Amino acid sequence: MLRLFITLILVLAAAMAAAQVTVQEYPLPPRLHVHDVWADPAPDGPVWFSAQRSGQLGRLDPKTGKVDLIPLGQDSAPHGVILDTDGSPWLTDGGQNAIVRVDPKTKAVTKWPLPQARGYVNLNTAVFDRAGVHWFTGQNGVYGRLDPRTGDLKVFDAPKGRGPYGIHATPEGVVYYASLAGSYIARIDAATNQATVIEPPTPGQGARRVWSDSTGVVWVSEWNSGQLSRYDPRTGQWREWKAPGARPRAYAVYVDETDKVWVAEWTGQVMLRFDPATERFESFKSSSGTADVRQIHGRKGEVWTPESAADKLVVYRYR
Amino acid sequence: MFGLVVGLSWVTASAQDGARLFQRCYACHSLDPAERDLSGPTLRGLFGRRAGTLNGFEYSTAMREAGQRGLTWTTETLDRFLVDPEEMIAGVRMGGVRLRDPADRRTLIHWLQNAAK
């Protein structure tokens, strides 16, 4: 009887937590192939997104639903978008093989092409460290750095060749990236530019994206294994949790300001929220049958997702 | 003799250009069927294959359905696909990746006809 009562309480608590999350969908112009998203940290501020198929930067005003599109140039096909501390969007533009910055006021586009000798690197994702250096990945097997103050751009061969994908920095400014084809994460030493491979416990897991929590613990979405994993740089210890459902595929990961971990899972086409304290997943869904969420970002009380297959930005609001 | 030299240099340049253009595909596709953990299926044996049917690869619903409707990879269908995958197969997972230049597509497809055998 007591066990039944405790189970009921747990189910009720989970239902109440889920009820505290509301979902709002913002339609985008059709077939942009929205890829990544970045929310301005200001409440109600703009939400920026990369439109890979159309070669544009997008800007959504969440108060009105109005969408502006800024063309980035011939052959543009941007993958990632991030904001610098001044609120300017930066894109990793695979189509142009260039890092691209857009002035949010004038919409002027500035490009830093990769060295021609490097050839096509398939630019993927970027992050700024605390010193303002822009670090990026190229899925063909590189990572690199751009100093926006001097324009100095360097590209390095990644360990184990092709695969570098998602990249993020801890609050202390230490940069980590994930290698999808290489099945590892790496820590970059900003002083030497060296990347040190850190192998997750599951071989061939397909580490796709990484995100740091507020304490510098690194969370990893594993595509091949369908796991969410956690690496603690202080102890070197790993933990792993299989996402719910049959044959899950964990594409993207993001840690919110309460240190709960959000995962985009593709087999069930759901958004998952993982509570590290209880080690339980909650599941949320928009109205889209197939969403194909490729990246996640947020700000206080909000998690934003780009639905590449449904031409939508979707926000999950929580208290 | 001069014609032979010019012809050979064209073939060499074309092969180099094809290999260079294949870098657009390289992150997700391999020509080695043993490399199984990439985001896209191996391109070995591509020509003549029904779309969405390679054993052991998890295709999107859109690609599987395109194959069920009869799409088979040929030089012509691959050319149409590469110019705008989403236009040809709505909902395909590589819908954001395009090779707009017709000459680039011709060179890449010509190169793949040998490299993907």
B78-108 pLDDT per residue, tens: 999 999 999 999 999 998 889 999 999 999 9
| B37 closest CB neighbour out of A94, A181, A308 | A181
Structure confidence at residue B57 (pLDDT): 94
User: Which residues touch A36 (CB under 8 Å, ≥6 apart)?
Assistant: A49, A50, A78, A79, A80, A81, A125, A294, A295, A297, A306
Contact between A262 and A271 (Cβ < 8 Å): yes
Q: Minimal Cα distance from A292: which residue of B? A: B93
| A241 contacts: CB under 8 Å, gap ≥ 6 | A227, A228, A229, A274, A279, A281
Whether residue A138 contacts residue A125, with contact meaning beta carbons closer than 8 Å, is answered with no
Instruction: Give the CA distances from residue B15 to residues A221, A258, B28, B106, B114, in Å, rounded to whole numbers and listed in that order.
Output: 38, 54, 21, 12, 10
* Spatial separation of the C-alpha atoms in residues A145 and A270, rounded to whole Å: 34
pLDDT at A167 over 50: yes
Query: What distance lies between CA A69 and its chain's CA centroid?
Result: 21
Checking if the pLDDT of B3 tops 60, the result is no
3-state secondary structure at position A188: strand
pLDDT of residue B2: 53
Contact A34, A306 (CB under 8 A): yes
Instruction: Please tell me the least confidently modeled range out of A6-20, A116-130, A152-166, A189-203.
Output: A6-20
Predicted TM-score of the model (pTM): 0.93
In the structure, what pLDDT confidence band is assigned to residue A12 with cuts at 50, 70 and 90?
very low
What percentage of chain A exceeds 90 in pLDDT?
Answer: 94
Length of chain B measured in residues: 117
pLDDT at A19 (0 to 100) = 56
Q: Give me B26's structure tokens.
A: 């390289």
- State mean pLDDT over B58-85: 97
- For residues A224 and A206, the answer to whether their CB atoms sit within 8 Å is yes
Residue percentage of chain B with pLDDT more than 90:
80
Mean pLDDT of A85-92: 97
Q: B64 and B52 in contact (C-beta within 8 Å)?
A: yes
Predicted confidence band of residue A70 (pLDDT cuts 50, 70, 90)? very high
pLDDT in tens, A94-148: 999 999 999 999 999 999 999 999 999 999 999 999 999 999 999 999 999 999 9
SS3 A156: strand
Is residue A249 scored above 70 in pLDDT?
Answer: yes
Per-residue confidence (pLDDT) for residue B55, from 0 to 100: 93
What residues in chain A have their Cβ under 8 A from chain B's Cβ atoms?
Answer: 31, 33, 35, 52-53, 75, 77, 79, 94-95, 119-120, 122, 139-140, 162-163, 180-181, 183, 204, 206, 223-224, 290, 292, 308-309
Give mean pLDDT, residues B53-76: 96
Residues of chain B contacting residue A163, judged by C-beta atoms under 8 Å apart: 27
pLDDT of residue B15: 81
**What does the pLDDT read at residue A107?**
97
Query: What's the CA gap between A113 and A140, in Å, rounded?
Result: 16
Nearest CA in chain A to B59: A267
Q: Rounded CA gap, A26 and A310, in Å?
A: 10
Alpha-carbon gap, residue A22 to A271, rounded angstroms: 13
Which amino acid makes up residue A319? R
Beta bridge partners of A135: A127, A145
Does A2 have pLDDT greater than 50? no
- Cα distances (Å, whole numbers) of residue A237 to A41, A159, A200, B87, B101: 32, 22, 10, 46, 49
CB A280 within 8 A of CB A14: yes
Q: Is the pLDDT at A92 greater than 90, yes or no? A: yes
Best mutation target, B17, B21, B24, B32, to test chain A (most A CBs within 10 A): B24
Q: Which residue has the higher pLDDT, B10 or A186?
A: A186
Say what the pLDDT of residue A8 is: 40
Who contacts B116 (Cβ-Cβ below 8 Å, separation ≥6)?
B31, B43, B44, B45, B46, B47
SS3 call for A45: coil
Q: Are B29 and B40 in contact (CB under 8 A)?
A: yes
- Determine whether the interchain pair B96/A309 forms a contact, defined as Cβ–Cβ distance below 8 Å: no
- In the chain, the amino acid numbered B66 is A
Q: Which residue has the tokens 């958004």?
A: A271
Calculate how close chain B gets to A13, using CA atoms only, in Å: 36
Q: A299: which strand partners? A: A302
> In angstroms, rounded to a whole number, what is the distance separating the alpha carbons of residues A71 and A161?
32
DSSP structural state of residue A276: T
Strands (E), A164-206: 164-169, 175-179, 184-189, 194-198
Q: What is the mean pLDDT of chain B?
A: 90
